[in-house]
Amino acid sequence: GEDVEQSLFLSVREGDSSVINCTYTDSSSTYLYWYKQEPGAGLQLLTYIFSNMDMKQDQRLTVLLNKKDKHLSLRIADTQTGDSAIYFCAPGDGGSQGNLIFGKGTKLSVKP
Amino acid sequence: DTGVSQNPRHKITKRGQNVTFRCDPISEHNRLYWYRQTLGQGPEFLTYFQNEAQLEKSRLLSDRFSAERPKGSFSTLEIQRTEQGDSAMYLCASSLAGTVYGYTFGSGTRLTVV
């Protein structure tokens, strides 16, 4: 089945850029999603990228996809303390396959 | 529509008791998913429904776990004879099949088995 790997921790200073990386195994994913989870809360959809794209920009967020290497990254520009959370990448197909597979997530800590 | 609603937010139960959680999805969403999340882990898929049909249930953790969505709207997840290892956050999500917008998650039900 699908396997998703992310580094567990990332610490940055406020105002710097953050880059969160993800590798996955299932090359059939049509869409790949990034979710954010704040303490004690459910997951919030941040952004997604279609598998035939290699980059998508959405305000402070930039998603890069290297389909050949099955590598996905999320860049957060001008990181703020409110960005501190756990970030999950989740390959999927937008619903027709049935379920998204999540890794353990990357805990982003932003220091003032 | 206020999003995906899960009740209760917290549940403390004694080992061996049965518990039931409820999820109310976004009204126009025809798909509903249940996930379990333990501390330090990502959400682990359990089961999902399209309308009232349960299309995948092989990932339910044991036969003590069951889920229903009788009228294709709200869903319930039941755990029978709870064990301490069942302590976790149970997340529900919904989506509209055929769209790209991923899932909308509820805030979860935190279960503590004592």
Backbone conformation region of residue B86, classed left if phi is above 0, alpha if psi is from -120 to 50, else beta: alpha
Report pLDDT for A96: 47
Complete DSSP assignment for B24-41: E--TT--EEEEEEE-TTS
Return the amino acid letter for A3. Answer: D
Q: How many CB atoms lie within 10 A of CB A68?
A: 7
| B19 neighbors B78 (Cβ within 8 angstroms) | yes
Q: What is the per-residue pLDDT across A33-72, written as a single tens digit (0 to 9) for each?
A: 999 999 888 899 999 999 899 999 999 999 999 999 999 9
Q: Determine whether the interchain pair A45/B31 forms a contact, defined as Cβ–Cβ distance below 8 Å.
A: no
Instruction: Tell me the CA end-to-end span of chain A in Å, nearest whole number.
Output: 40
Q: In this complex, how many residue pairs, one in chain A and one in chain B, have their CB atoms less than 8 Å apart?
A: 68
Residue A94 has pLDDT above 60, yes or no: no
Report pLDDT for A11: 97
CB proximity A33 to B under 8 Å: yes
Q: What is the per-residue pLDDT across B34-73, written as a single tens digit (0 to 9) for each?
A: 999 998 899 998 999 999 999 887 778 889 999 999 988 9
Of residues B112 and A93, more confidently modeled? B112
Give the best residue of A43, A44, A96 to mutate against chain B (max B CB count within 10 A): A43
Q: Determine whether the interchain pair A43/B100 forms a contact, defined as Cβ–Cβ distance below 8 Å.
A: no
CB-CB: which of B4, B42, B107 is closest to A104?
Answer: B42
Mean pLDDT of B18-33: 95
